[in-house]
Amino acid sequence: MKNVKIITIESDFGAGTKGAKLGPQAMLKQLPHALIADIPAVRLSDDDLPEDESEHKQALHIIQILEIQKRALEHIQTAATEGFTPFIISGDHSNGLAGISAYKDLYPSNQLGVIWIDAHADLHTPYTSPSGNMHGMPLGAALGIEKLGQSGSSIDKETQQKWKQLTQLGKQKISPKITPNNLVFIDIRDLEKEEISIIEENNILHFTPQHRKSLGILEIIEQSLAHLAHCHHIYVSFDVDSLDPSISSGTGTPVHGGLSKEEAIQLLKAFLGQPNLFAFEITEINPLLDRHNPMEEVAAEIVKASFLS
């Protein structure tokens, strides 16, 4: 873990189930002290932000999430400009927008490749989300999707305004931040029709559990890296719900048919070893949901094995 700076985003405003904000510190406590003792770290928390969500039913807590993203973006940019690789441990996946936005703000003319390892595509917007939970929207924002499906008239004006600010997160207000050609999904398996339409219409490279079984992990790694070979850097986001719930159900939205620990380690070892890695994020660890097989222990085991040769 050389040249790494740990950034914990202890916020779960984007999740439908509370508890993920406890995940970053829970996982850090499971990592060997010798592994992280000398690594610089910074903590962000949402404890100072109010809970009110009454005005934004289709984008719950969007005001608080926008504020957290602004704070996280600044810390990620600082780490990168200091020469570190940001190692982001975040509460829920709405925070994934911060790392992508930080990169595009620093390098406006560069192309960032995003490897999204997740049971879900997270391509929703306030116009399509069935729940309003914003951990299902970070890539919708990164792709700059402002309207899809429902008419914008069904969204209140403040939500429309805040959503636009999220799509333009960063001082340079760049949107979109990534293109569909620079995105790879691995192990997605729980999608709504709007997300399927985006993937199909934009020919986004994606691998389902069926692909994993037929191709194997090594082939998925090879195809993913080849697909993103034209990108200047890559950003790897690992949602622990990509893992099969038989390992641990300690995440807000577990879905059967996921990765084994060994498969997750194979993926992360390959991707984290890339010389053009900009940042790595692990997210959605919820210590409140499974005390029989605690997810923080599973995640720490995967991270340790992935960073160490």
Report CA-CA distances (Å) from 147 to 75, 129, 194. 30, 12, 11
Q: What is the pLDDT of residue 2?
A: 72
Strand, coil or helix: 180: helix
- Cβ neighbours for 298, distance < 8 A, ≥ 6 positions apart: 240, 243, 247, 248, 250, 261
Ranges of residues in the chain with a pLDDT under 70 are: 1, 53-54, 147-153, 309
E strand map for 59-169: 85-90, 112-117
Question: What is the tens place of the pLDDT at every residue in 105-137?
Answer: 999 999 999 999 999 999 999 999 999 999 999
Q: ∠ CA 292-295-299 to the nearest 5 degrees?
A: 140
Instruction: Identify the structural domains of the chain with CATH numbers, from first to last.
Output: 4-307 (3.40.800.10)
User: How far is 132 from 140, CA to CA, in rounded Å?
Assistant: 13
Amino acid 92: pLDDT: 98
**How many C-beta atoms surround the C-beta of residue 196 within 10 A?**
14
Our CA angle for 183, 242, 9, nearest 5°, is 80
pLDDT of residue 35: 87
Specify the pLDDT at position 154: 76
Task: Fill in the amino acid letter for 173.
Answer: K
Mapping DSSP to helix (H, G, I), strand (E, B) and coil, where does residue 188 land? coil
The gap from C-alpha 44 to its chain's centroid, in whole angstroms, comes to: 16
Q: What's the confidence (pLDDT) of residue 150? A: 46
Percent helix, percent strand, percent coil in the chain, to nearest 5: 40, 15, 45
